[in-house]
Amino acid sequence: MSLLQSSLLRVSQRAMRQMADRDTPFIEDEWYVVGFGAEIGRSLLKRMVLGRRLVLFRTAAGEPVALDDRCAHRSYPLSAGRLDGDTVVCGYHGMRFDKAGDCIEVPSQATCPKGIGVRKYPLVERGPFVWGWFGAESRADASRIPATPWLEGGQWASSQDYFHLPGNYVSLHENLLDLTHLTFVHAGTFGTPDYARAPYEVESSEGRYRITRSVSPTRLPPVWGKPTGLEHDHAARIAKSEFVAPGLHVVSVQFHDAALPPEGRPRFEIRTCHLPTPETHGSTHYFIVNSRDFALDDSGMTEFMRGQLMAAFREDVEALTRLEEILADGDPERYEMSIASDAPAVAMRRYLLKRATIREDAQVSMRP
C-alpha cells in the first residue's frame, strides 16, 4: 500500500467513526412503525422491535396494545399464552395481565401482589400504521410522529407490503439516499443506464436529508412507462429521496413528457413510504406503502405496479443482505471511502450517531 493510500485509509476510518453504522445503539426517543393496523387484531402477535420482545394485540374496543413479551413471573413469552377479553393470560402458570401491563391475577394464591407487571409501550394508530415509542413514556409526544397526510385523504391509491430484511436499518436509509444504485442493483427492473450519471441536487438540514435526481430526457422502464403512457424516449423522471426520521424515508418520483411545454402537460407522481423499524442490529422490519396520484380506481394498475415494485425492492433486500454479511464480520481493517454523492448519507449517518449517543433528555429539544 502506498503512503497516499495508507493516509487515505486513516482518514476514511476516522470518518467512519463519526457516522452511525449497524452497531450504533438504537435511537429510542423516536416513533417507529410496529405494524400495519390490519396485522394487529384479537390474537397475540409476537414481534421484536429495537431488540425488545413485544406482544401486540387489540382490545375489544379496537385499541392496539404493546407489552413486553416476557412474563413478570419466570419470563415465559406472553405471546405463547392467550388473549382473554382485554387481558393476557400467561401460558406457563397463568398470571393475568391487563392492557396496562399490570398483573391482576395469580391463580395459585387468593390475592395478587401489588406492583407486579410488564412494561407497556405507547402506541398511536395513524393511517395504515401503528406507531410505537420506546423511549421514556413521559417523552412520548404524538405530534412528533412523522406525517404522511397523503395516505389519509383518499387522493392517492396505495398498496402495502413488508419485507423481513436481514440487514441493518442504517444501511437501508443509506441505500435510499443514493439512488445511483438503480443503474446497477435494479438494472433488470426499474433502473436505466442513464440514471447513475444524471444530475442531482442535495438539500440538508439537521434531521432532514434530501437528494433530487433529474433524469430527462429518458426512456422509462415498463413499471413507470406503462401506467403513465410515457412509453417513448423523451420522458422525464424526477426522483426525490428524503430521510424524514429514523423510522421513515419517503421517495417521490414525478413523470412528464419532456417534449411538451410545462404549462398544462400531464404529470404523474408516485410516492413510496419506506419505513425501517430495527428488529436487531442485523435485521429490520421493512414496511412499504406505495402510492400514486393517478388512475386512482384502477385496481389492475395497483397490482401491476405492486408486483413490479416488489420485484425491485426485493433486489434491495438481497443487496443489503449481502452487505450485512460483510458489515457484521467485525473486520478491524474494513474502511469506507465516501464520494460526492454520499454527502446526504454521510450527514444522515452523523445525525443518527449523534441522536444515538447524546443524553436522552436532550434529544427532544434538538428534533426539528
Which residues would be at the binding site for ligand FES (CB under 6 A)? 71, 73-74, 76, 90, 92-95
Give the strands of the sheet with 103-105, arranged side by side: 82-84, 87-89, 96-97, 103-105
- Nearest distance in Å: CB 90, ligand FES: 3
DSSP symbol at 221: P
- Nearest distance in Å: CB 98, ligand FES: 15
Choose among ligand FES, Fe ion, none what residue 172 binds, the Cβ cut-off being 5 to 8 Å by kind: none
Q: x/- contact string, 283-322, with Fe ion (CB under 5 A)?
A: ---------------------------------x------
Q: Give how far the C-alpha of residue 12 lies from the chain's centroid of Cα atoms, to the nearest Å.
A: 27
Choose among Fe ion, ligand FES, none what residue 69 binds, the Cβ cut-off being 5 to 8 Å by kind: none
Choose among Fe ion, ligand FES, none what residue 76 binds, the Cβ cut-off being 5 to 8 Å by kind: ligand FES
Roughly how many angstroms between the first and final C-alpha of the chain, as a whole number? Answer: 44
Choose among Fe ion, ligand FES, none what residue 294 binds, the Cβ cut-off being 5 to 8 Å by kind: none
Choose among ligand FES, Fe ion, none what residue 316 binds, the Cβ cut-off being 5 to 8 Å by kind: Fe ion
User: Is residue 261 reached through a cis peptide bond, with omega within 30 degrees of 0 on the bond before it?
Assistant: no
Cell of 99: 392492557
DSSP three-state, residue 193: coil
Q: Give the pairing of strands 64-68 and 248-257.
A: unpaired
Residue closer to ligand FES (CB basis): 27 or 89? 89
- Nearest distance in Å: CB 77, ligand FES: 9
Number of residues that bind Fe ion (CB under 5 A): 1
- Nearest distance in Å: CB 53, ligand FES: 14
Choose among ligand FES, Fe ion, none what residue 37 binds, the Cβ cut-off being 5 to 8 Å by kind: none
* 174 is an interface residue for Fe ion by CB under 5 A: no
Choose among Fe ion, ligand FES, none what residue 68 binds, the Cβ cut-off being 5 to 8 Å by kind: none
- Nearest distance in Å: CB 312, Fe ion: 6
Cβ pair 365, 42 in contact under 8 A? no
Phi and psi at residue 357, to the nearest 5°: -115, -15
- Helices and strands, counts by H and E, the chain: 7, 18
Residue closer to ligand FES (CB basis): 80 or 187? 80
Type of residue at 316: D
Q: Give the pairing of strands 283-292 and 267-280.
A: antiparallel
- Nearest distance in Å: CB 95, ligand FES: 4
- Nearest distance in Å: CB 164, Fe ion: 17
Residue closer to Fe ion (CB basis): 79 or 180? 180
Give the Å distances, CA to CA, from 343 to 45, 201, 323: 40, 11, 20
Q: Where are the beta strands (DSSP E) in 93-233?
A: 96-97, 103-105, 120-121, 123-126, 129-133, 157-165, 200-205, 208-218
The CA angle 45-50-53, to the nearest 5 degrees, is: 35
| Binding footprint of Fe ion on the chain (CB under 5 A) | 316
